Structure 1
Amino acid sequence: MRDQASETNGKSAVIRASRLSVAPMMDWTDRHCRYFHRLMSRESLLYTEMVTAPALVRGGARHLLTYSPEEHPIAVQLGGSDPRELAQATRICCEEGYDEVNLNVGCPSDRVQSGSFGAVLMENADLVADCMAAMAAVSNVEVTVKCRIGVDDQDPEAVLPDFLEKVSAAGVSRFTIHARKAWLKGLSPKENRDIPPLDYELVYRMKAEFPQLHLSLNGGVSTLAEAREHLARGMDGVMVGRAAYHNPAEVMLGADQEIFGTGHRLTAHEAVAEMEPYIAAHLQSGGRLNQITRHMLGLFVGRPGARLWRRTLSEKSSKEGAGLEVLREALAQVG
C-alpha cells in the first residue's frame, strides 16, 4: 500500500491528467492501444477496457489487468453491481498498481444489462452509492464513476442531479458524464453511441450545481478544439472516445501542448518509429504483429498514402511471421 504522501501526490497527478482522458472501449483500449496512445501523449489519462468484478474475483482473471509501467497514469474500469465483490475487485486493482478505479454506470449492452450493471444502474442510485462506498473503503486510490445522463424514459433533469447527490455522498468526488441517455430497449450499443441526442448544457448545469465535484464530459468530442471549448465552459475534464482511436493524430499527438501546455509534439512518423522497440519485444515473446498494428490503422487519416498504409497493415500484419518489415513497408507508403 502507498504511504499518505505518495497517495496525495498520485491523486493530484491523476486529477491533472483527467483534464483529457481516453475512454474505456471494449476490444479497443487494450494494453497495446494504451501504450501507443501513451507514446503520443505523456499527460492524458488512459483507461482500460471494462473488466468485470466477477471475472477477477470468481474467475481469477488477473491477467486482464496486465499493463506496461509506461502507461501511467492509468485507470481501470470495473463492471459489477455487488458491493462486496466490487470491493474485492478494487483491492486486486490496487495491488496491481492502478492510479484510479472507475465503475461503469454507462454501458448499454445486453450482456452488461443481464448482469445488472452498466447503464441499468442509473435506475438505482442507492445501489451505486453502496458499491462506491465499499470500493472506497478498501482503495488506496480514488474511486470514480462513469455514467449516462439517464436511461429509457427517465427525465435526466431530475435523475442526474439526484444520482450525483446520492453517489457523491458515498465519497465519490469525480464523475465522467456521457452526455446522452442510454436506451436499454430498442437501440443497440452502437446506436446508443450516436442516436440519443447530446445534452451538453445539462452537464454544464451539473457543474454549476455541484461545483465541489470534479466533472468530466464525454460524448461526441472529436477534436482538441472541441475539448478546449468544453473546458472553457467550466468542465474539469473531457473524455474522448472513438476519435482518439480512429484518428489518433488529430487527438493524441497535440494533446500535451494544446490541453496541458507541456511537452514535445511527436510527428506521426516519429510515433511509428518509437513503437518499434515495443513491437519487437512483443514479437520476440511470441506475439503477432497485427495484435498491435490494428490499433495504428487510423494514424495517417487524411494524409496522402493513408489508404495504402491501412491496406498494407491490414493484409500483411496478420500473416505468420510478419515482423517490423511490414510496418516499415506500410510507413514507406505515406508521404
Structure 2
Amino acid sequence: MSTKSQVLTLLMKHAPDYLSGEEMAQSLSLSRTAIWKAINELKKEGHLISSEHHKGYRYEKTDVLSAEGIRLNLTDATPELMITVLDSSESTMKDAKLAAINGAPAHTLIVADTQEAPKGRFGRPFFSKAGSGIYMSLLLKPNQNFEEMAQYTVITAVAVARAMDQLAKEHTEIKWVNDIYLNGKKVCGILSEAMSDVETGQITDVIIGMGINFSLKQQEFPEELRAKATSLFAEEKPLITRNELISAIWNQFYAILNQLPEQSFIEEYREKSFVLGKTVAFTQAGTTYQGTAIDINDLGELIVQLATGEKKALSSGEISLSKINE
C-alpha cells in the first residue's frame, strides 16, 4: 500500500476526529515529511482535509472515488476486493475482460469516474458525466455452467435495489431483466458477460458491469433522455457518497451469494418487478409476440402467456422487451 493510500485510510477511519502529524507518523511508521507530502497529494486529487494548529488533520466527507473509501465500508462477509479506480475508462467491461485475460484474480473490481464510450445491453449507449455517476465491473471466476449465468444478473439487480433503498431511502423497481428504475425512470443498467472454456463448456470468468446515474441533475440529461432516465439524487443533495453506495452494493451481492442455493432473492426480484401482470411485446427468433408477463422463474426467465394460452420463457440473452402496457 502506498504512503498516500495509508494516510487516506487512516484519516478516513478516524473521521471526523483530528489526528496529529505525530500520531499519524507513529501509527504508520513514516516521517512527518512523508505524511505532509501525502496529504498535499490527496488534496490535489480533490479530497478535503482540514487542519488546525495543535489538533492536526481531519478528513471531511467528499465524493471523490477511491479504493480506500470503498474498502472502508465493506463487511467481513465480503471477500477482499482488488480495487482499481480510474479517472476515465472507455469501458470498465473491456478493462475487466483484459484483466481476466492477463490473469487477474477473482473479485477484481474496476471503477471509473466516467466512461468515454459507455454501452449497455445490446450495445445501447447511455449518458456519462464525470463526478455524477458510477461505472464499474466486477470479475468473478465461478466455474459454472451457462444455464446458471442468468442468476448473476438477477442477484446483482436485487443487490443494487437493496443498497439504493436502504441508503437513499427510496423505493426502486426492477425492469426485467437488468434495469433499476426510480419513479418510473431508469437509474441503473446492469450487464453480465461470460468467458468460457471450450473443452469443458464451463464458465471460467464472469464480468458484472453497471452504470449508475448517481447525482446527475434532471436538466443535465440530454433532452431525449429526460423522460426516460433519472438519477438517485436528481434534485436534492446526495445523502451518501458514491464510495458508500459501491460498498453497499457489493456487500449485498456477496450476502446473497453466501446464502445460495437458497432462492429467496428470486422472490424479492419478483416483488420488485414492475413488468409482472402487464402486457408486453417482444421479438423472439425474428417473430414479434404480445402477451401478459405472469411470472419470473427460478432461472430468472420471464414467463409470458400469449393470447392463445401458450406460455413462453424469455431468456435475457435472446430477447428485448419492446413495449410494456398496464
TM-score (norm 2): 0.24
TM-score (norm 1): 0.24
For CA contacts below 8 A with separation 6 or more, give which structure has more relative contact order: 1
Structure 1 or 2: more helix by fraction: 1
* Pair member with larger Rg: 2
Structure 1 or 2: more strand by fraction: 2
